[in-house]
Structure 1
Amino acid sequence: MLYTKRPIDMGRLVALTAIFSVCPAFAQTSTTPAVVSSTAAAVPDDGWRYSLGLGVFETPKYPGASATRFQPAPIVGVGYGRFFFGSVADANVPFGLGAFLYRDNHFRLGIALSYDLVKPRKASDDDHLRGLPDIDATAHATLFASYNLEWLSVVGAVSQDVAGKHEGATASLDLLGKYSPISALTLTAGPGITWGSAQYNQTFFGVNAEDSARSGLPTYTPGAGVAAVRVTAGASYVLDKHWNLGARVVASRLPGAVGNSPVVEKKTQMTYGLIANYAF
């Protein structure tokens, strides 16, 4: 999680960055956007930093689902100097441990190790998945970087399954333009894209011969390629130096071979979230 020296800036930052770093339901997937800071953040100080929040989200039950679910989510962040524990905005990490390798007033580079707190997909999520295997929670190693200006943020991350759960690698890039009509309110909007390795896309969207025999779905091998494209719009409102509110809507599209998977019921995936956060 990112922090700034000025409390009001940190409030805006946490409100925006925390919302979708915990979605959907504390698991990393191709349709989850990377999230960025809402201001050109100053270099974090070397002391302890804490934040607590609660979010409510509506997300697809699994990547490609037509059904959605509501999910409350507690959000906790702890930082000390260049080290952090909790949600990691730049890395699209729901909950992890990591460190910044380099940071200045605009550019950040870091690494993180995280673990899904829930399974990304369960056969019990939907009748359409009957006969398909669950996708297990796994550990991810992530290298991330961000560049932040007052009016624009650019975030990139590369993540690899390091627990042997056959979930491969992803690479994401997001751009968000930022505008503040008043000092307490920051509006953001912009596009993003996620690429998935052949192993990642096969696990989330493929159907092998054994799975086909159990589920009745045709065999399918999507191969490596773009796993999601998206547009994100959000808002963050600072109530005071500690409290802030945030909201965000993400429209994702499962394109090409991924979208044509027999696992996919709906190519357009919508995610909504509201959050209240206290930073101290």
Structure 2
Amino acid sequence: MASSTLFSSAKPQENSMHFLKRPASAGRFAALTAALAAGPAFAQSSTTPAAQAATATIPVDDGWRYSLGFGVFETPKYQGASATRFQPAPIVGVAYGRYFFGSVADANVPFGLGAFLYRDDHFRLGVALSYDLVSPRDTSDDFHLHGLPDINRTAHATLFGSYNLDWLSVVGAVSQDIAGEKEGTTASLDVLGRYHPGSKWTLSAGPGITWGSAQYNQTFFGVDAAGSARSGLAAYSPGAGIAALRVTAGASYLLTKHWSFGARVVATRLPGVVGNSPIVEKKTQMTYGAFAGYSF
């Protein structure tokens, strides 16, 4: 699941070459929209648009930073579902210097605890620990899942890095299930371009890709022999491979140095080995979100 000028109320044209001098409110705004984009269901998945978390450069600020907000999402009930659901989402972010709690800017972590290992004007490298706040998939989500096991919430360890300019972010993240829930490893890469049509508006768009390990793809898209017997679906073992291709588009508006509003649309395609899974009812997945936030 995590965007525009989140950590700055200054005009984009005035600070495009001075990222570290942006007011702290801009960075808080960035962390807030990161949460919106990073985790529509507050559970990490291959459809999570990682680059959304870095739609604005985050200043190297050694002080305290806070953000509160609320988002509403329409998201598939599970990866590959044809049905959707609305998911309200409170958004909280607290940061002190290189340490942060809540939404993890520059990574596809909707809610976690972590630290930047390295930061400068453009590059970020960090680690985070996170835990899913909702289950990625329940059998009760859809009759199509009858007989298949639930996918439980789990803890993740994530290594992430980003390169940020005022008009571009390139974000990569590798995440590993560390709680033994058989959710394996994912690696994501996103590129997001930005355009500022005015001093308060930021428009963003760009592509992304996620690779899933054999264990990850089996848990989310595979059907073992027992599951096949219970559900009537054909047995299927997808193996490792591309788990998602996506395009993200969004708009953010900085009303004041404290209040911000925005919206995001993510179109995800489940390709190849995962898209051919009998679990998948719809290969093209759409996620819509809107948020309001206050930074202080």
TM above 0.5, one fold? yes
Matching residue within 208, 224, 228 for 1:192: 208
d(CA) in 1 for partners of 2:202, 2:7: 16
Once the two structures are superposed, the pairs formed by residues 94-109 of structure 1 within 5 Å of their partners are 94-109=110-125
Matching residue within 239, 243, 261 for 2:277: 261
Residue 49 of structure 1, CA deviation: 1.1
5+ residue gaps in structure 1? Answer: none
Residue 11 of structure 1, CA deviation: 5.4
Segment of structure 1 superposing worse, 238-247 or 8-17: 8-17
For the 8 Å contact 2:32–2:103, the answer to whether it is kept is: no
For the 8 Å contact 2:32–2:93, the answer to whether it is kept is: no
User: Which residue is equivalent to 2:193?
Assistant: 177
1:203 partner SS: helix
d(CA) in 1 for partners of 2:275, 2:35: 28
Residue 51 of structure 1, CA deviation: 0.5
d(CA) in 1 for partners of 2:59, 2:93: 18
Give me the identity figure in percent.
73
Aligned CA-pair RMSD: 1.4
Q: What is the one-letter code of the residue matched to 1:18? A: A
Deviation by residue 1:104-143 (Cα, 9 ceiling, x = unmatched): 1111000000000111000000000000000000000000
For the 8 Å contact 2:171–2:190, the answer to whether it is kept is: yes
Deviation by residue 1:164-202 (Cα, 9 ceiling, x = unmatched): 000000000000010001010000000000000000000
For the 8 Å contact 1:172–1:195, the answer to whether it is kept is: yes
Matching residue within 26, 32, 35 for 1:9: 26
1:100 partner SS: strand
d(CA) in 2 for partners of 1:3, 1:238: 10
Residue 247 of structure 1, CA deviation: 0.5
1:182 partner SS: coil
1:147 partner SS: strand
User: Which residue is equivalent to 2:170?
Assistant: 154
Q: What is the one-letter code of the residue matched to 2:256? A: D
d(CA) in 2 for partners of 1:30, 1:121: 13
Once the two structures are superposed, the pairs formed by residues 82-97 of structure 1 within 5 Å of their partners are 82-97=98-113
TM-score using structure 2 length:
0.91
Q: What is the one-letter code of the residue matched to 1:112? A: A
Residue 22 of structure 1, CA deviation: 2.6
For the 8 Å contact 1:195–1:227, the answer to whether it is kept is: yes
User: Which residue is equivalent to 2:258?
Assistant: 242
User: Which residue is equivalent to 1:135?
Assistant: 151
d(CA) in 2 for partners of 1:52, 1:175: 26
d(CA) in 2 for partners of 1:262, 1:214: 14
Runs (4 or more) in structure 1 with deviation over 6 Å come to none
TM-score using structure 1 length:
0.96
d(CA) in 1 for partners of 2:269, 2:55: 24
User: Which residue is equivalent to 2:235?
Assistant: 219
Residue 10 of structure 1, CA deviation: 2.6
User: Which residue is equivalent to 1:19?
Assistant: 36
2:196 partner SS: strand
Matched, 1:145 2:191: no
Once the two structures are superposed, the pairs formed by residues 265-276 of structure 1 within 5 Å of their partners are 265-276=281-292
Matched, 1:41 2:58: yes
Matching residue within 81, 101, 105 for 1:65: 81
5+ residue gaps in structure 2? Answer: 9-21
Residue 15 of structure 1, CA deviation: 4.8
d(CA) in 2 for partners of 1:181, 1:57: 26
User: Which residue is equivalent to 1:51?
Assistant: 67
d(CA) in 2 for partners of 1:139, 1:16: 22
1:20 partner SS: helix
For the 8 Å contact 1:244–1:276, the answer to whether it is kept is: yes
Residue 89 of structure 1, CA deviation: 2.7
For the 8 Å contact 1:38–1:186, the answer to whether it is kept is: no
